[in-house]
Structure 1
Amino acid sequence: MINWSTMFTFYKSNIVNTLSNVCGRQKLSLQYSAPRFPFVIAFIALTFEMANAVVKVLDLDVPESVEIGSTDEIVMVCNFVASKDEAAEMKWFYNGNIEQIYQWIPDSDKPPGAIGRFKERLDVTYSSPNPRAKYNSLKIKNVSYDLSGNYTCKISGIKSEDSQTKQLIVYSPPKSDLEIILFKNENLVICTVSGIYPMPKLDFYIVDGNDTRNIDEEIESDSDEDGFNVTARYRFDNTSLSNPTTFLCNLTIPGTDYNLYKELDYYIEDEGVIEDEDYTDWLTSNETSDEAQNITIEDSSGIANHPTVYASLLLLVTFLLLS
């Protein structure tokens, strides 16, 4: 079962090296305008390569990551070549070479078969329009987290075998926003997220001008039916920070290109100075009101509180009593 076009593309890079050895490392062109002799040698070299690699997995097309809810099915394709006289057999494995989930014999009239944990979710009727690779694909329905893992396509023949493995991650974005919260009194900053799957990676950074440095944070996590809840904590020392300082929290899901980040600017306040303009205006306004109130009190009660007035009144009362 030879797809000559595919095989020529695969072996094209190897032909030049083989011809170089045969023809004293002479550089030959593979353009169609070249003389026929190099193509004769190329055909011989191609046949030689086929004899040493009767079956070959050319490409394994497996999506690196799939967001839960974005699709109801996943298709994986294993492109391979095999010589016509080779009784090739295709097998798919999940997480290693022990748990087989699919089998197809290209030269047999038997339909492909699903095996193992995904038996009820594999669509064995799914086929490629190419008759030479009719059932070289996996179509898995009902996408869920348990599909995450390594998938191996293995092609076996009488003389040789070949395989390739790719990883698939089924993930869910967080159900809450990524947050950075600052607790000034405790010199503590936290980054938190919840309802995400699988376990994400949280990294804290301090941005100082053009300099960005990673900091050692404490990670706490737990899980529930919605996924993982993760919090990163960092206690800082004001004396080691510039003013202002930017805290940056970066979230990634390993094995995917999913990424979120959040920034928070932290201004270190000088002792006795309040930088909040609204609060300063409020404070100034209250100080003015207090001064006005004190003046009013002094004006209304100043005479009554004067010691000379008390002495005069006392003498007057004494004089009246003696009279």
Structure 2
Amino acid sequence: MKYQLCLLFPLVVLLLAAVIIRRLIVPRWVRNGSETPAVLDCEYVYNENDLKLVVKWFFNDGAEPVYQWIPEMGVREAFGVLRQRLDDTFSVSSRDAYSQYRAIRILRPTWELSGKYTCVVTSLAGQDARHQHMTIFVPAKTFSFNYSNSPPPLDRLPRPQSPDLPLSLQCVARGTFPKPVLTLFLLKGGRRRPATEAGLRTFTTATIEDGLFDVALHADAFEGHVSSLADLFECVLEIPYSNYMLTRRMTVAHGGGGRIHETTRAFSKGQGDT
């Protein structure tokens, strides 16, 4: 038994001495086309056992790396989606020859680079890997909230017991990425609640063109019931995995009068924390 422990001990020491990734720094969100580059860093510790050190970055579980750096050979190269997208002068340290080019700096990041980034550091002593997702979001090209007295399609509303006209609310966001979430709220007497809680039926349609989403939220009511439902209607646009949000508010008066209130909250400056 003692002999077996003696054999295992050098192996345990060797495994513990292999390179270890200490921290992976990847922005959670970045605005599409931002002038501020996106820096993805992979901090690791190594020692004299880590011969033939190689740093690789992978995108969306691809089999081939999108970036590779071999310190001992002085070779680094970007591939695939990152080819010609990186700042080839960027380094995190000029003093440490085995950490100098571990990070990647993406210039003018665009939405198609959204996804999972994995850093893999290997050596003859072992390897370590970590991953993180980054979303590069596209704000809505247009965002509108309006209504009409046109009858809703497919007879979505039950037939009224009064001569009230059907009223269709429509909130539309165009040209966004990833697919946005639209939510309708009703404000009355200082209270704000989702339209669905008030019994207002809503549904959402979406189309995609050139990778960008157009999304519309529809809600139907009767004109005579509007004042009892809400003083204000509010549509909120949120882009998942980011801090970007827009709000539009609208009043609808009985008899066809109406007014749009635009309240914009767009928290999209800078980049998200890791």
Give the structure-2-normalised TM-score: 0.69
Distance 1:111 1:226 in 2: 34
CA pair 196-116 structure 1, distance change in 2 beyond 3 A: closer
Higher strand share: 2
Percent of counterpart pairs with the same letter?
25
* Stretches of structure 1 lacking an aligned partner (at least 5 in a row): 1-47, 277-323
Deviation of 1:195 (Å): 2.7
CA pair 226-157 structure 1, distance change in 2 beyond 3 A: closer
1:89-100 matches, cutoff 5 A: 89-100=54-65
* Stretches of structure 2 lacking an aligned partner (at least 5 in a row): 1-11, 150-164, 258-274
SS at match of 2:91: coil
Query: In the alignment, which residue of structure 1 is the partner of 2:134?
Result: 168
Q: 1:75 aligns with which of 39, 42, 50?
A: 39
Query: In the alignment, which residue of structure 1 is the partner of 2:193?
Result: 212
The question of 1:199 aligning with 2:184 is answered no
Equivalent residues of 2:145, 2:172 under 8 A apart:
yes
In structure 1, give the amino acid aligned to 2:39: V
1:122-271 matches, cutoff 5 A: 122-132=86-96, 133-176=99-142, 178-184=143-149, 185-208=165-188, 209-215=190-196, 217-224=202-209, 227-236=212-221, 242=228, 244-267=230-253, 269=254
In structure 1, give the amino acid aligned to 2:27: P
SS at match of 1:131: coil
What is the CA deviation profile of residues 12-69 of structure 1, one whole-angstrom value per residue up to 9, with x for unaligned ones? xxxxxxxxxxxxxxxxxxxxxxxxxxxxxxxxxxxx9996363221222222222223
Equivalent residues of 1:89, 1:105 under 8 A apart:
yes
SS at match of 1:242: helix
1:35-74 matches, cutoff 5 A: 52=16, 54-71=18-35, 73-74=37-38
Deviation of 1:246 (Å): 2.8
In structure 1, give the amino acid aligned to 2:221: F
User: Which region of structure 1 is more displaced relative to structure 2, 208-217 or 251-260?
Assistant: 208-217
Give the structure-1-normalised TM-score: 0.59
What is the CA deviation profile of residues 100-159 of structure 1, one whole-angstrom value per residue up to 9, with x for unaligned ones? 1111234x1422222333223334442223432201111233533221111111122334
Equivalent residues of 1:149, 1:169 under 8 A apart:
yes
Distance 2:218 2:13 in 1: 58
Distance 1:90 1:251 in 2: 40
Distance 2:241 2:56 in 1: 25
Distance 1:172 1:102 in 2: 25
Instruction: Give the root-mean-square deviation of aligned CA atoms.
Output: 3.1
Deviation of 1:263 (Å): 1.8
SS at match of 1:203: strand
Equivalent residues of 1:198, 1:228 under 8 A apart:
yes
Deviation of 1:243 (Å): 5.0
Deviation of 1:217 (Å): 2.3
Distance 2:169 2:239 in 1: 22
1:281-292 matches, cutoff 5 A: none
